[in-house]
Amino acid sequence: MFIIGILSLLLIKAILVRNESFTSTTHLTQLLKTEIALAKSLETHLKQEYERLDQIEKFVNVIKDEIRQAQSNEEYYFGNPVNSYLFIKHLTADWYNIEELLPTNFSKNLGDKWIFPSFEDYTGSATGLLRLQDTYKLNTSQLANGEISNKFKSKRLSALECYDLGRVAYTSGDFYHTLMWMQEALDHLDKEQNKTSINKIDILDHLAYATSQQGNVEHALAVTEELLKISPNHIRANNNKIYYETIIKNRTLSKQQRKGDT
Amino acid sequence: MFIIGILSLLLIKAILVRNESFTSTTHLTQLLKTEIALAKSLETHLKQEYERLDQIEKFVNVIKDEIRQAQSNEEYYFGNPVNSYLFIKHLTADWYNIEELLPTNFSKNLGDKWIFPSFEDYTGSATGLLRLQDTYKLNTSQLANGEISNKFKSKRLSALECYDLGRVAYTSGDFYHTLMWMQEALDHLDKEQNKTSINKIDILDHLAYATSQQGNVEHALAVTEELLKISPNHIRANNNKIYYETIIKNRTLSKQQRKGDT
């Protein structure tokens, strides 16, 4: 106990010496606030960075799996139009999203010797796939489930992949295919475990518009109402709902009028 | 079988249509090389980035633990000179290393309102600790093991932390403390599970030099020989070995000469 007593005394002196020599406890308490702020900022940085790397890693896993499959038999693999569409998509639309998560010098460091497909190659491959679908009357569901034939299997498309294909049709004003692929995206989304990749609202929004453009206003209204159940304040959907209801109402009125005329 | 046959035929046609429409299989094979190179570059990036984040995370865990302990009783915590030395070290020397792993705008985004200690505060707190050690004749091992007293406990210093303290003594030409703390670093390194944090060669290099500066050439030679066992081509160590051997040889000769003279 005596020794402990002496040591405690020494330490109290020690604190005094330390305080004189470089910094006071008040100063340290102030610096502790700096350390708390620093820890918080670093944790935010780590969280954002791990999310970023997670996205990149998912992309790497997709293309590594693709490389493995393609290398086993290139002719056979690329012979499947769904495979080659997805392949081009990975090196264009998907890669552009990943590129944004990388340092600006990353693509430069890759060098000039690697040829990348163009965005036109991507839309071209999508349009080609949709044309094939028509020409050979391929069922959208079967195509999306990779069941073109027993011989030519391909992977089951994700909801996002169906949506992206529908988006290409949509941007080229092809509402017939937009409708089919958005419906397929919806079906796949319902069955998917991880639903974070694509928002149901986005699918329904495109589906409603494409349906109305194809002339089925009643169905467009039903889809819009489904969208509003999820997102009641969706401005465009609310406006569209009124618009579709007006069309249906006017149609019913003119029908009744015609009936009344006869 | 008939249906499969037709579908296969359709797909062969499909391939032709696809080839005409946007890209040939040869082109896809070429693009596969791009994808392979891309996957490789991205994997390298991920590896480097995960290593970087791992270093930052380790630092965050250290300072979070420190914050938790300090906040429970600031006066008591900072009253321990080992704690306050380490605290200042984390916000200076260690933080400078972490800062290099962060985007350049990170520190700017922290804002001006946080006060950081200066590098002089760091060397000051180290020198203060060494002076305390002398004044109160505190045993280096006990200090390094956090056993200043039963009342004032602090964490056990890592080999790297002992080395860093020795480095401050070394850069200020204080070879007495360099020797003690490098010896302590060596002892801790031998007991540590994870020895990657500091290289044994660096410790031995400093230890040998400090020992020779304290006049113990025989021990300096022994330490240098231990270093050369690990790194036989270490240039400075090889030169020093010759130098120390010459000193010892000349000393022995002059002793013998003196004996002969008497």
Is residue B193 domain-resident?
A: no
Last residue of a domain, one of B126, B154, B171: B171
Identify the pLDDT of residue A55.
96
Is residue B7 domain-resident?
A: no
Task: Give the minimum alpha-carbon distance from B78 to chain A in angstroms, rounded to a whole number.
Answer: 7
- Checking if the pLDDT of A19 tops 70, the result is no
Query: What digits encode the pLDDT tens for the residues A32-45?
Result: 999 999 999 999 99
Label residue B14 by pLDDT band (50, 70, 90). Answer: very low
Q: In terms of domains, do A163 and A227 share one?
A: no
Is residue A1 domain-resident?
A: no
What are the backbone dihedrals phi and psi of residue A153, each rounded to the nearest 5 degrees, phi first?
-90, 150
CA distance B118 to A18: 16
Contacts of A233-239 with CB under 8 Å at 24 or more apart are A234/A201, A234/A205, A236/A205, A237/A205, A237/A208
- Checking if the pLDDT of A31 tops 60, the result is yes
What count of other Cβ atoms lies within 10 Å of the Cβ of residue B9? 12
Q: In terms of domains, do A152 and A206 share one?
A: no
Q: What is the DSSP letter of B198?
A: S
Q: In terms of domains, do A99 and A168 share one?
A: yes
Q: In terms of domains, do A138 and A206 share one?
A: no
Q: In terms of domains, do B165 and B208 share one?
A: no
Residue A148 in contact with residue A138, Cβ under 8 Å? yes
Range A141-162 average pLDDT? 82
CA distance A153 to A148: 6
Is residue A249 domain-resident?
A: yes
Look up tokens 């003594």; give the residue. Answer: B169
Q: In terms of domains, do B159 and B204 share one?
A: no
Task: Give the minimum alpha-carbon distance from B111 to chain A in angstroms, rounded to a whole number.
Answer: 10
Share of chain A above pLDDT 70, in %: 88
Substitution target from B19, B23, B83, B121 for chain A, most A beta carbons within 10 A:
B23
List the one residue out of B67, B51, B136 whose CA is nearest residue A29: B67
Is residue A19 domain-resident?
A: no
What count of other Cβ atoms lies within 10 Å of the Cβ of residue B7? 18
Last residue of a domain, one of B171, B191, B215: B171
List the one residue out of A109, A50, A62 whose CA is nearest residue B49: A50
What count of other Cβ atoms lies within 10 Å of the Cβ of residue B155? 16
Substitution target from A19, A23, A63, A105 for chain B, most B beta carbons within 10 A:
A23
Which positions 44-83 of A are in contact with B (Cβ < 8 Å)? 45-46, 49-50, 53, 56-57, 59-60, 63-64, 66-67, 70-71, 74-75, 78-81
Q: In terms of domains, do A161 and A86 share one?
A: yes
CATH number at A243 reads 1.25.40.10
CA distance A32 to A179: 59
Q: In terms of domains, do A206 and A88 share one?
A: no
What count of other Cβ atoms lies within 10 Å of the Cβ of residue B48? 10
Q: In terms of domains, do B81 and B130 share one?
A: yes
Q: What is the DSSP letter of B157?
A: P
Is residue B97 domain-resident?
A: yes
Q: In terms of domains, do B248 and B204 share one?
A: yes
Q: In terms of domains, do B37 and B159 share one?
A: yes
Residue B56 in contact with residue B102, Cβ under 8 Å? yes
Range B207-233 average pLDDT? 94
CA distance A224 to A246: 14
Residue A226 in contact with residue A204, Cβ under 8 Å? yes
**Helix B119-135 × helix A2-21 angle, to 10°:** 150
Indicate the number of domains in chain B: 2
- List the domain range (segments joined by +) for residue B73: 33-104+117-171
Last residue of a domain, one of B134, B155, B171: B171
Q: In terms of domains, do B96 and B205 share one?
A: no
**Residue A65 tokens, joined:** 């799996």
Q: Can you give the C-alpha Rg of chain B in angstroms? A: 30
Identify the pLDDT of residue B81.
86
- Is ipTM > 0.90 here? no
CA distance A111 to A98: 17
Is residue A82 domain-resident?
A: yes
